Amino acid sequence: MNNKDNLQNAFEKAFEEHQAPLNQAQWDRLDAALLRKKNKRRFLPWIFTLIAVTIFSVGFGYWLGNKSVKNENSNQQISSNHNITDKSRSVDDQSFKSQSKPLVQNDSTPMASSENITKAVSQPSTNKHSDIKSITERKNKIARAIRAKNSRNPIIEQPKLTFEDPKVHIEKPKLPTEETKDGYYPKANPDNITIVDGTKPLKIIDAPISKSSEELADSLLNNAKDSSLKDGDDPKKHVKRFAIGLTGGISNAVFKNTTFTEPSKMHEDTKQVYNENVKQTKSQYLNLFFDFKILKNVNLTLNSGIQYRQIEINENNNYTLYKVPFRNQDGSIAAYIKFPMIVPSQDTNKKWDTLNPMTFSYSNKIGIRFVSIPVAFSYTLPLSSKSELQLTAGIILNKIAFAKGKTFSLNTAQLLNYKEVLNKKGNMGYLAGVSYYRNLYKPWWIGLGAQIQQNKVMINSGGYGFIKSNINITNYSLNLKYKF
Amino acid sequence: MLYEQYGGYLMSVCLRYAGNREDAEEVFHDTMMKVFDNIRSFKGNSSLRTWINRIGINTALDFLRKRKNALMIEHISDQVLEMKDNPIEEEISIEAETAMKVLQKLPVNQQIVINLFMIDGYSHKEIANQLNISEEASRSQYSRAKKQLSELVKTKLKLNEQQR
C-alpha cells in the first residue's frame, strides 16, 4: 500500500464513525431557535391576512360611505331641482312655446287664445252647467293634486295625471315670461292653469321636459362644471374617494453615489470594481396600489400600496490586481505592495517565488428582490371626460426580501454569496412620476406611466466595512385602475 | 430523532472544518437549522447522512469565508507544484482526536483541501467549484498540504513511540 493510501485510509477511518460529543446547551439553543422560527411562521400569515383585511375593510368602508353620500347628494340635487334658477339664461314665452308641447290638450277643440281664456274665466258663462264657484273649486282641487304630485314624486320625468270632467276644460298654463323663482322649468303651476267650460272629457297631461331643461337637469345632477373642462367633463368622475389598481412594468436601474462606511479599509480600486460589477442591470416590478382622496374639493389623493421589484445584475469583469494592500491590525490599509513581487517560496527546493499581477475574470448573475411600500401624494388633472393625467410624488420604504448569486469582492479577493453580504435593513428613497389614464369601461381605467424612484443597497465588503449605493430607477409601466 | 442520530457525526464534521469548539458549535447550529428547514426537499438520492454532511460542509465553508477570510485566492494558485514527499510505508492507525489535532496545525486553506479531498471524498473539480479556484490550484494545495500532513503524522507517531 502506498503512502497516499496509508495516510488517506488512516484519516478516513479516523473520522468515518467519529462522533463528537454534544452538550445540552447546544440542543437547548437549537430547540429555542426552532420554536422561534415556528412561531414566526405561524404569525406571518396572520400579519399578512390582517393587513389584507384592513386594506379591504378600509377600502370597502370608504366605498360604502362614498356610495351613500353620493345617493344622498343625488336626491338633494334632484329634489332641489324644482327650485333652481339659472340666472345665466332667460326664457321667453315664445321660445318655450316652440320647444314644449301644450300642457292640456283637447283633441277636438282648437286651443283658445290667452285672451279668450281669461275672458272665459272672468265672465260668467251662459251655459247652464257653468258655475264660477264650482270652477274655482275644481281649479283648486287640480292645483292641490298637482302640488301633492310634485311633492311626492320629485323627479324630472313627470307622471301623467288624468282627470275627467265633462264640464271643465283646462287650458295650457301660462308660462313665465321673465326670470322667476321657478325659472324656466315647466313645472305645472296651478296659478297658471286656466279652467274654462268644456263639453268633452278632459285630460291633464303634464308637460314633457324641454331639451334645455334636460340639459340643466343633467348638469345639476353632475354638479357644477369646471371652467377648465370641456363640455361633458366632470372632475368628480376623475377623482373618486377610493381607487385600487395594479401597475407593472420594466425599469432601468442605475447604481449611483457609491460610498464606503470605512474608506480607510477599502482597496483603492474598490469603487472602480464595484461600478463595473453593477453596470449591467435589468429590473421589473409590480405594484398593487390604492388611491384615497384626502380633500373633498381638491383632486389630491394619498397613494400607497405594496411594490415587488426584482433587479438582475450581470457581473462581467476582467480585473487585474496590481497592488496588494498591506493592512494595519484594525484592517485599515497602511500601504500597497506592487506586483511583481518576490516572496519566500513555500517550496523547499527553492528560496523565492515571483508573483505577477493577477487577473480576475468572472461572470456572475445576481438577483435582488425588493418589497417596498410607497407613500405618496397624487394630483389628478382631468384632460377630458375620459382621460386624465396623474402626477405623483412621495417616499418609498424599501426592504430587501431576497437575494441570490455571488459577487466578486476585491477586498477579500473572493466570490461572496450576495444574500450573505447584502445588508437587509430597510431603507427609504423617493419616488415621483406621471401617468396618463384613459377610461376603459365604466369604473375601469387603463394607463401608461413613467416614474423615477430610489432604492438603496448596502454590501458588506467581507469584514472591511460596507459599500453603500443608491439605485436610481426609472419605471415604464402599464397601469390598471378601478375607481369606486 | 435526527439530532440524536446524526448530531455527533455532524459535530465532528463541523470541528474538522471550523477548527475550534466555539466556531464548530456555530456552524453546527446553522447546519441543523438548514437541515430542519430543508428536510422536506430531501429526495433520498443519497443517504441522509451524506446529505447532512454536504450541508454541514457548505455551511462551514460559508462560515469560514465570512469569519476568517480563509478562502483567499492564493497568489501562487496558478502555479502547479507537485511536491515529492517521504511516503509512509506501513499501514497506520490514528485516533480521531489525534487526527484532528494534527489537521489543525496546517494552514486553514490546506485544512480545507485535506478535509474535502482526503476525508470527504470531493474531487479536485468539485473543490475547484466550491472554492472558486482552478483545479490545478486545488491539486497544488492538496499536494503541499499532504506533504506537511505526512510530516506531522510521522512526527506524532515518533513521539507516541518514544512515550511508550
For the residues of A110-153, what is the DSSP string, one character each?
A: PPPPHHHHHHHHHSPPSSTT--HHHHHHHHHHHHHHHHHHHHH-
Q: Please state, rounded to an integer, the average pLDDT across all residues of chain A.
A: 73
Chain-centre distance for alpha carbon A210: 41
The chain B residue lying nearest A339, using CA atoms, is B75
Q: Which of A4, A10, A37 lies nearest to residue B93, judging by beta carbons? A: A10
Distance from CA of A270 to the nearest CA of B (A): 17
Q: Do B118 and A37 touch (CB under 8 A)?
A: no
Structure-block grid coordinates of residue B155: 512526527
User: Is the pLDDT reported for residue A189 higher than 80?
Assistant: no
SS3 A334: strand
Does the beta carbon of A350 lie under 8 angstroms from any beta carbon of chain B? no
Residues of A in contact with B115 (CB under 8 A): none
The chain A residue lying nearest B151, using CA atoms, is A7
User: Is the pLDDT reported for residue B20 higher than 80?
Assistant: yes
SS3 B111: helix
**From CA B90, how far away is CA B153, in angstroms rounded?**
12
Pick among A1, A17, A18, A30 to test the B interface (most B CBs inside 10 A): A18
Detail the DSSP E strand segments found in chain B. Answer: none
What does the pLDDT read at residue A204? 45
pLDDT band at A374 (very low <50, low <70, confident <90, very high): very high
For residue A49, which amino acid is it? T
The chain A residue lying nearest B67, using CA atoms, is A463
The residue among A143 and A275 whose pLDDT is bigger is A275
Ranges A77-81, A434-438, A439-443, most confident: A434-438
- Look at strands A444-460 and A427-441 and give their pairing: antiparallel
**From CA A328, how far away is CA A309, in angstroms rounded?**
41
What does the pLDDT read at residue A202? 47
Q: Alpha helix (H) ranges present in A178-243?
A: 211-221, 235-238
Distance from CA of A265 to the nearest CA of B (A): 15
H/E stretch holding A405 reads: none
Q: Do A414 and B71 touch (CB under 8 A)?
A: yes
User: Is the pLDDT reported for residue A40 higher than 80?
Assistant: no
Long-range contacts of the stretch B45-54 (C-beta < 8 A, 24+)? B48/B6, B49/B6, B49/B9, B52/B6, B52/B9, B52/B10, B53/B9, B53/B10, B53/B13, B53/B120
User: Is the pLDDT reported for residue B66 higher than 50?
Assistant: yes
pLDDT in tens, A95-152: 434 444 444 444 444 444 444 444 444 444 444 444 555 666 766 777 777 676 656 5
User: Is the pLDDT reported for residue A384 higher than 80?
Assistant: yes
Q: Are A222 and A234 in contact (CB under 8 A)?
A: yes
Lowest-confidence region among A277-281, A298-302, B66-70, B148-152: B66-70
- What was the ipTM of the complex prediction? 0.86
Does the beta carbon of A195 lie under 8 angstroms from any beta carbon of chain B? no
Q: Which of B96, B149, B150 lies nearest to residue A15, judging by beta carbons? A: B96
